[in-house]
Amino acid sequence: MSVIRNILNSRSSQGGNFFNILTQILGFKPKSLTHYKKAFTHRSLNRKDEEGNAINFERMEFLGDAMLSAVVASHLFKAVPGGNEGYLTKMRSKVVSRKHLNELGKDLGLINHVQTNISKEQFGVNIHGNLFEALVGAIYLDRGYKYCKRFIYERVIDPYVDIEQLEGKVISYKSLVIEWCQKEKKEFDYEVYEDTGNDELKHFAVKLRINNRVVAKARATSKKKAEEKASKRAYYALQNKIE
C-alpha cells in the first residue's frame, strides 16, 4: 500500500507532470519522488527538514559523484585489463569531467525542473553537471545500485565511452602545456590582467609566455577560463613539438 500511495502522491505533485517527466528521463518509474525533489531543490529556497537540516541538491550531488566514479571505474577496470592505476584514473577523469557532465545535464534539460528563488539565468554553467550528479544520487537512494548502474550505462558509458577516443581526448590544455614546459625545462608564465573592453560582463585577458616569448593570448569571463583558452591556442601552435 505504501508504494501505491507514493506513486499516487508522485503523480499529483508539481502539476502532475514531475512523475511523468522523471520516467522519461530515467527510462523507468521512480518508486517515490522524495529524493528526486531534493535533487531539484536549490539552496536559495532555504528549505529545512524537521531536524533543521538543509534540503537541497548539494548532498545528493556528493553521493551521485561517488556513484558515477564507482560505476565508471568498474567498467574501465574490466574493459582495460592492462591499464595501470594512473591510466585508469586519467581515463575515468575524462568520462566524468565537469564539461562532459554539464553536457549530459544540459541534454536532459534538468535545469528546467529546478525549484529556486533566483533567476535560472544567474546559474553558472556547472549547474547542469551538478544536477546530473544529484539525479544519480537520487536514483541510488530510490531504486538502489542496480538501477543506478543501469542509468549510468545507458546515459554515460554506452553512448560515450570509447577507449580509443578517450585516450586521445584532452581534459586540460593548461596541464599539457605546463607538463611539456617542465619536461623541456622551459620557463613559463601566465600574465593575467583585467580586460577593459566594453562587454557587460567582466572579462580577463591572459598572455602566456614561454621562455619570455608571448606564444598565445586569450580573454574570457574568468581567469581560469582565460588561462585554459590561451593554453589551448599555445598547444596547437606548438603541437608538433609537444607531441
Residue type for position 92 = R
**Contact yes or no for 42/115 (Cβ under 8 A):** yes
The one catalytic residue in 49, 65, 167, 184 is 65
CA atoms of 171 and 227, how far apart (whole Å): 14
Residue 195 annotated to the active site = no
Residue 189 annotated to the active site = no
9 marked ligand binding residue: no
61 marked ligand binding residue: yes
The one catalytic residue in 50, 58, 121, 133 is 133
194 marked ligand binding residue: no
DSSP string, the chain: -HHHHHHHHHHHSGGGTHHHHHHHHHSS--S-SHHHHHHTB-GGG-EE-TTS-EESHHHHHHHHHHHHHHHHHHHHHHH-TT--HHHHHHHHHHHT-HHHHHHHHHHTTGGGG-B-SS-GGGS-TTHHHHHHHHHHHHHHHHH-HHHHHHHHIIIIIHHH--HHHHHT--S-HHHHHHHHHHHTT--EEEEEEE--SS-SS--EEEEEEETTEEEEEEEESSHHHHHHHHHHHHHHHSHHHH-
Annotated binding site for Mg(2+): 61, 130, 133
Annotated binding site: 61, 130, 133
Would you please indicate which residues are annotated as catalytic (active-site) residues?
65, 133
